[in-house]
Amino acid sequence: MTKSDEYPELDFKTTDELKIDEHIINQVIGQDKAVEIIKKAAKQRRNVLLLGEPGTGKSMLGQALAQLLPKSKLVDLLCLPNQRDENNPKIQAVPAGTGRRILNATPPAQLLQNGNDNNSMYTMFIIFGVISIIYGIVNYFILSKESDVLQAANRISFTFFVTIFSLGAMALFTLGKSLSQRMVKILKPKVLVDNAELEQAPFIDATSTHEGALLGDVRHDPFQSGGLGTPAHERVEAGAVHKANSGVLFIDEIATLSIESQVELLSAMQEKKLPITGRSERSAGAMVKTDPVPCDFILVAAGNENSIRGILPPLRSRIRGGGYEIFMNNMIDDTADNRKKYAQFVAQEIKNEKGKIPAFTKEAVIEIIKASRRISGRKKKLSLKLRELGGLVRAAGDIAREKNEKTVSAEDVESAKIVAASLEKQMVQEFIEQNKDYNIILNSGAEVGRVNGLAVLGTASDSGIVMPIEATVTPTSKEGISEVIATGKLGKIAQEAVKNVFAVIKKYKGEEMKTRYDTNIQFVMSYSGVEGDSASVSIATAVISALENIPVRQDTAMTGSLSIRGEVLPIGGINAKIEAAKEAGIKRVILPKLNLEDVIPNLRSNGIELIPVENISDVIESALSETKQRETIVKKIKKIIR
């Protein structure tokens, strides 16, 4: 049976055969609950808070909501001069497309009329110049009878006067023209928001914008006197909240907004209008404040799980009171229907590239599905980290394009996995290559107090690493008091895991562990730190090995969380960890029994032995070298974990 035969639901040869729905809401993958809520939010104009991992489709849902909103209610926003108080510009809302027509409605004749306002000034200047020239000519003939020195002085001064007069005339002409044009500009409004060319309700992404860009601002004017200043209404700039009027305002990482910005955002949501004023106290714009500007938008705020603590409670209350909160799925069931959706996803990514990459064959799509299965790290699940998968699609497409292929093959996807490897994956590869020369990672023989632990780098859990853990047990340095010293930049959870391990060790060894021994634990070369509890079984094995002086097999690596009752609990990143062990030349991996079904099929048949365990006694039995003493230890441990 070929790869294609394993997936009969994918009934196409290339992704060119797949049709892509024009509606964004139908392009969202794996977020069925969120899609239904977005449809309700569009119909009822509700705010939405989306929380979940990056790359799961939050911004796409915001764009879909904007597409579902009607265009008929769109308006242009004009900023008009205020003849009574120029620092309080007026605001006018007109139907979309009307703003440009109003701006261009000033007749050309008005320009000439305003241009003549400086004629009296020109006339006076010319009269003064003519009189001065006549005086100079007359004076020249009178002084012709004087000495040569006086004549020369008179001619030099007259020439200097004429030069200065000419330059002054040109400067006056230029200034007068500028002032004349400025007078015409004062009479014209400014289009703050122009929706003339929009085919749907606006979608404004205000992620990471500063206060002025979000809430509006008034530009500073360095020329505030002498008639050279820019009128206040022309310096007004609309913010994202105003541009999103009648549409959607999308803010990712909402918790990164300052408290002040969140308060202003809340005010805009409540009042549905917000005046624009200068945001800098030292700017000339600080004195300007417009009339309230319409900003009737739907807020789609997004973030991760930790964002909840950074959202102002009244702002979150406003969203919940007038909308919905959605926790995004990060994986879906590995079913035939969902695999067809992944084929649709690949086709969508190709379309978004606008011809940069060729179509994918069915076999290439299958490789993308397998990559999704691996990233999920769960049995019968597919990952919804679509941004990461989209990167793999583009990398494979680039490789095929470079080879001048008409379609992307499965081999291209396999090559892309190497080319587009994450930084963490590249760091692991470099770490492995460097350590081959120094034998830091052992994959044969046996050592007392040394265990090959398994960990992942980064937050994506797609880059595994073999991390040696060593333990030594020495007589206590303080009589009656034992110490446990763990080094390697341990995080809070890792430190708590060490405490849980010693709860089990103390049960095993009794009072002498509390009063007779100091224990030192080292996470070898953990320069980036250690966090999490998946090294619990490794720590326990290393300590027991050091206590009993029984060597640990170095062809074995292990991972698993240990409870205070001695149970081995499931952990994350299991596939990445097994891959790391394989790359390091390790032949056996001890893992939690509950994680066995999470291992992807190709890792179960790649020559590495997987040993599922339920408790610490199973770990010790599989990890320690085979001796009579090992059997005694295993029996003793089984008694304390019952």
Give catalytic residues, as residue numbers.
534, 577
Beta strands in 256-337, from DSSP E residues, in sequence order? 273-274, 293-294, 298-303, 323-327, 331-333
3-state secondary structure of 400: helix
Given a contact cutoff of 8 angstroms between Cβ atoms, the answer to whether 262 and 241 are in contact is no
Structure tokens at 499: 């405490």
Residue 450: φ, ψ to 5°: -130, 130
How many Cβ atoms from other residues are within 10 Å of residue 23's Cβ?
Answer: 11
Q: At what angle do helices 536-548 and 616-623 cross, to 10 degrees?
A: 60
H helix runs in 528-586, sequence order: 536-548, 574-583
Q: Is 626 left (phi over 0), alpha (psi -120 to 50) or beta?
A: beta
Over the Cα atoms of the chain, what is R_g?
38
Q: At what angle do helices 336-352 and 386-402 cross, to 10 degrees?
A: 60
Given a contact cutoff of 8 angstroms between Cβ atoms, the answer to whether 449 and 565 are in contact is no
Helix (H) or strand (E) holding 64: helix 58-68
d(CA 437, CA 54) in angstroms, rounded, equals: 38
Given a contact cutoff of 8 angstroms between Cβ atoms, the answer to whether 32 and 26 are in contact is no
- 90 Cβ contact list (under 8 Å, min separation 6): 79, 80, 81, 82, 233, 290, 291
Beta bridge partners of 324: 48
Beta bridge partners of 47: 323
Q: Which amino acid does the sequence have at 28? A: V
Structure tokens at 173: 């002409």
Q: In angstroms, what CA-CA distances link 459 with 52, 157, 424, 536?
A: 13, 82, 10, 19
Structure tokens at 187: 């009479």
What CA dihedral angle connects 298, 299, 300 and 301, to 10 degrees? Answer: -170
Q: Which amino acid does the sequence have at 40? A: K
d(CA 497, CA 523) in angstroms, rounded, equals: 14
Q: Which of 562, 453, 442, 454 is nearest to 498 (CA)?
A: 562
What CA dihedral angle connects 98, 100, 106 and 107, to 10 degrees? Answer: -100
